Chain A
Amino acid sequence: MRTAISTLAVRGATTVRQALEILHDEERTPIAGATDLFVALNFGTLTMRRFVDIWNVDELRRIAVDGDTLVIGALATYTDLIRSPMIAARLPMLAEASRLVGGPQIQNRGTIGGNIANASPAGDSLPILSAVDAVVVLRSVTGERRVAFRDFYTGYRESVRRRDELIVAVEIPPVPGRQWFRKVGTRAAQAISKVVIAGVRDGQSLRLALGSVAPTVVRARRAEAALAEGRSIDEAVDALRADITPIDDVRSTADYRHLVSANLVRRFLTETR
């Protein structure tokens, strides 16, 4: 049954400083586009009751290049990512992934920071951030710290973000080589991923990450290592089986996710050869 709205408490913030002070004073969940929140609310599975709304913190909307690092503000929406010339030039697969998130309404509200914070294993941008070795920028009233994306998640819907911290940006170092992205979501729009995969190939160097096949987004370390050691595609695909731990759920099956992950890795390796 739908959660009663009157049981929710929301405070608004218009600056990062204000948001951080609120988070410092009391335990609240930051929300921006609230696209994930409303699904849980309608389904009656929402556990949080107290929120800080940061949608109007405009300083977090910026997409910029700083030195050779691409810096994406946490509140950049999917629509912002689709329209950004900097994303098109440096990380086109993120624009491609953004076009496949929900529909235009979700793309207008959903943010990259929200996708990271929500920590769903099915988050469409997450395999990309993993494959390109992104860095998550966290800020609190006591200061700022940078966490490598690979160290960010600690378990299913759990991360190293402290309750008083806000994700303010994600930093992307230069991505040499070919980018490759594929989402498998059963229908052409408004779909949640069953398997989502992002890869970068630069000569012999390969980076590969998958979503919806484990409690968190995963980097395919064993498959990457097999290829780095010069082993065959078949051996790399075999190694992938140990990188992922998919399950049966309402959207798909473990068997299907294993099979499709293997097929797509094979396709990635073939197409970028």
Chain B
Amino acid sequence: MTRWVGASVPRKDGIGKATGQARYADDLVFPGMLHGRTVRSTVPRGRVRSIRLDFDASGFTIVDFRDVPGRNVCDLIEQDQPFLVERDVRHMAEPILLLAHEDRERLLSANVAIEYDAADAVFDPLRSEGVLKAIDIVKGDVDAAMGNADVIVEGTYRTGHQEHVYIEPNGVIAVPEGDGVVVYGSLQCPFYVIKALKSLLGANRHIRVVQTETGGGFGGKEEYPSMIAGHAALLALKSGRPVKIVYDRVEDMVATTKRHPSIVRHRTGVTRDGRLVAMDVEVVLDGGAYVTLSPVVLSRGCIHAAGPYRCDNTRIRGRAMFTNTPPNGAFRGFGAPQTEFAVEVHMERIAEALGMDPVTLREINALVPGDTTATGQVMHDDCSARLVLDEAVRRTDFRAKRTAYRGTNRAVGLSLFYHGAGFTGSGERTLNSKARLDLTERGVRIAVGSTEIGQGTRTMHAQIVAEALGVPYETIEVAQPDTSVVADSGPTVASRTCMVVGKILEECAAEMKARLGGLSPSEYFAKHGGFSVLKTYEPPDWIQWDDHTYRGDAYATFAWGCDVVELEMDRDTFEVRPIALTAVHEFGRPIHPALARGQIEGGTAQGMGYALLEHVVMRNGEMANAQLTNYIIPTSLDTPEFDIVMLENPYPGGPFGAKGLGELPMDGPGPAVVNALRALALDVREIPATPEHLAECALR
């Protein structure tokens, strides 16, 4: 029995957010502060010919690439993306010039005229010749096995861009400090910003990053804040004054990252009785104009591309391509929602081709302990594909509904999915994340770089520490992520904050408890003073991974899900109304059931938007509907009734048995919705399945 873990305690950030006391980046004001603005390209590709300032420049700070003291590249996986264009423009809204002024109005009125020599741009990844990253996963002999199949099913599946729509747009303030800067900002990964600024401003310069209260991230504040922080820092260094840059919604939508569009081709050999014998998969991602995180998005996408199924002969070939749109980047799910959409719709088509019930096809092929994935990873007892499938089918009475709704405007659809928790392969070993617990005069303080972005980091970490230490939850303090104070616990991404950082904290707490020797924290402090416990993450020792062959244990564990959606379509308008959604998820164990439920409901709603509504209209490489007026996300009235089921199957490598959860809910709704639409006799193979697209499908 646990006291704090498993209880829905009050959120650490709850009162501040509910009362408006929480301070977001735009709430902060510093003496002498200037406002910054980014002047951006208006062509998708070309060269800058001339720049003319059509305004009175008095009182303005103006920065271009020549003001960069270090290297003018954002240091991420590659060093290819400039902070400021030097000559070549590779996408719309690329930063060229920075302006700062203390009067926001004068700043907005300043007109800069830029002339370009425009060049031909490429927007279709299939027409691009620039391969940004290629990945091949090979298991068995696909060509030989395909020859032995009774039936071969082929298909191409597409997914579009998706915008994060965190409620708070990107924003930072850079304040001169010593010979460098301190950056306050809305961000997920403070230490990523440190790395980028060290490269931009010089390795020896003083740099500190503080995360301010953050209104959502969803991956959109993983890598992008390095860019905007760099801009603010350049302006702050040149002016010697604090500089705030906060994007409005339009700028945020036009200029920052989106989910990668995908084109996934499947060719699958099956036996008449429904066994998968060969899967040949080709994944193409649209990376946009720079590398950013696309190689790892492609990696996760490819690893999940064969779905949670057993197949001895699998080949997955992935390519991420350069195009002339703003770079696509991290977004909840990180490549997996795209490839799992494709495989789950493809499974439905295989069932159709075999004349088989889609549940039966999945029952036959779902991974069970002892099976291996496409990378050869052996499944252990923490594999719950059948567990979630069986429960979802049972509690929704799926088969009976499927039959009963035939010939009506109502339908049910299902998807089975999984999501690897933590960094891929040897990633966690390379990251070498650390966490620290401090015994202070006020009690026990958690000092990690993991950020609270609405998902409940502070609360959940404090629960784990309280439980492991045997002290009340209320006495645990969580330090604001300030890189000069906290340990580098790695980025707040990849569904790793609970499972990985929570695990280190659990171990820190165990060691602290041993050192307290039966005294309470305050008793110990009064007697002996404070101390700290710093620990480093130790991934499970059995993990074997080869980054060159893409063979081995891709993830320490997977979380599992099965979504069943029930919907109705209006045959006159092709509007789809989701009526009910059952999400059966297994993610080890919920640390905080109410927050976990919130993650599942929110991620599922985001997935429903991805499936039905969210259409990024690109014109000449620029988002043409960059407003919440025309980029349609679901409102609460568009969200169905949720039946959320959290099954438990503890994972020994996580704190109190917990796995990662954050991204899993994003993977299921897309294919579940499309599979329901397919039951209405519409041959849908892409999302968003807007009414316009469904009308086309109906007329085909």
Contact = CB atoms under 8 A, between A and B. Distances in A.
Interface stretch (B78-86, B296-304, B689-697): B689-697
B637 A189 contact: yes
Interface stretch (B16-24, B244-252, B440-448): B244-252
A187 B109 CA distance: 36
B251 A260 contact: no
Interface in A127-179: none
A83 interface: no
B632 A191 contact: yes
B624 interface: yes
B215 interface: no
Interchain residue pairs A-B with the least CB separation, the first 4:
A188-B637, A263-B572, A6-B105, A4-B108
Given A251-B625, A260-B695, 13 more contacts: A1-B251, A2-B248, A184-B575, A189-B637, A189-B638, A194-B691, A252-B692, A253-B692, A255-B696, A256-B574, A256-B692, A259-B695, A260-B691
B283 interface: no
Given A2-B250, A255-B695, A256-B695, A188 B625 contact: no
B409 interface: no
B432 interface: no
B692 A187 contact: no
B50 interface: no
A42 B249 CA distance: 8
A260 B250 contact: no
A186 interface: yes
Contact of B691 (A5, A39, A256, A267): A256
Interface string A261-273: 0011011000000
B688 to A, nearest CB: 10
A43 B106 CA distance: 18
A191 B571 CA distance: 20
B396 interface: no
Interface string B92-129: 00000000000011101100000000000000000000
13 contacts: A1-B108, A39-B627, A42-B248, A42-B250, A43-B627, A186-B613, A192-B629, A250-B624, A253-B692, A255-B695, A255-B696, A260-B572, A260-B573
A84 interface: no
Contact of B617 (A7, A189, A190, A250): A250
Contacts of B251: 1
B408 interface: no
A26 B572 CA distance: 49
Contacts of A184: 573, 575, 691
Given A251-B630, A255-B695, A189 B250 contact: no
A145 B105 CA distance: 41
A42 B627 contact: yes
Contacts of A192: 629-630
> Residue among A189, A195, A259, A267 with the most chain B CB within 10 A?
A259
B477 to A, nearest CB: 38
Interface string B667-700: 0000000000000000000000011100110010
Interface in B455-505: none
A85 interface: no
Contacts, number: 82
B650 interface: no
B634 interface: yes
A230 interface: no
A220 B109 CA distance: 45
A267 B696 CA distance: 20
Interface in A225-273: 250-253, 255-256, 259-260, 263-264, 266-267
B635 A188 contact: yes
Contacts of A1: 108, 250-251
Given A1-B108, A44-B250, A256-B692, A186 B627 contact: no
Nearest to A6: B105
Contacts of B613: 186-187
Task: Report the contact-size class of chain A (Cβ under 8 Å from the partner).
Answer: 20 to 34
B130 to A, nearest CB: 28
B108 A2 contact: yes
Given A1-B251, A184-B575, A7 B692 contact: no
Interface in B565-608: 571-575
A3 interface: yes
Interface residues of B, number: 32
Interface in A103-136: 103
Interface in B548-579: 571-575
A43 B573 CA distance: 29
Contact of B108 (A3, A43, A190, A250): A3
Contacts of B690: 186
Given A39-B627, A264-B572, A6 B637 contact: no
Contacts of A251: 625, 630
Contacts of B575: 184, 186
Contacts of B624: 250
> Residue among B613, B632, B638, B692 with the most chain A CB within 10 A?
B692
A42 B109 CA distance: 14
A48 to B, nearest CB: 16
Contacts of B637: 187-189
B573 A264 contact: yes
Nearest to A183: B573
B638 to A, nearest CB: 5
A233 B634 CA distance: 35
Interface in A37-56: 39, 42-44
A5 B690 CA distance: 36
Interface string B609-653: 000010001000000110101101011011000000000000000
Contacts of A250: 617, 624-625, 630
Interface string A1-39: 111111100000000000000000000000000000001
B627 A187 contact: no
A213 B586 CA distance: 48
Contacts of A267: 572
A107 B575 CA distance: 24
Interface string A187-226: 1111110110000000000000000000000000000000
A233 to B, nearest CB: 14
A44 to B, nearest CB: 7
Contacts of B696: 255
A186 B632 contact: yes
Nearest to B107: A4
Contacts of B625: 250-251
B695 A187 contact: no
A188 B576 CA distance: 10
> Residue among B251, B625, B632, B696 with the most chain A CB within 10 A?
B632
Given A252-B692, A256-B692, A187 B634 contact: yes
Contact of B629 (A5, A7, A39, A44): A39
A255 B690 CA distance: 13
A256 B624 CA distance: 19
A3 B248 CA distance: 11
Contacts of B695: 255-256, 259-260
A103 B637 CA distance: 11
Contacts of A44: 250
Contacts of B571: 263
A266 B574 CA distance: 15
Nearest to A190: B635
A3 B571 CA distance: 42
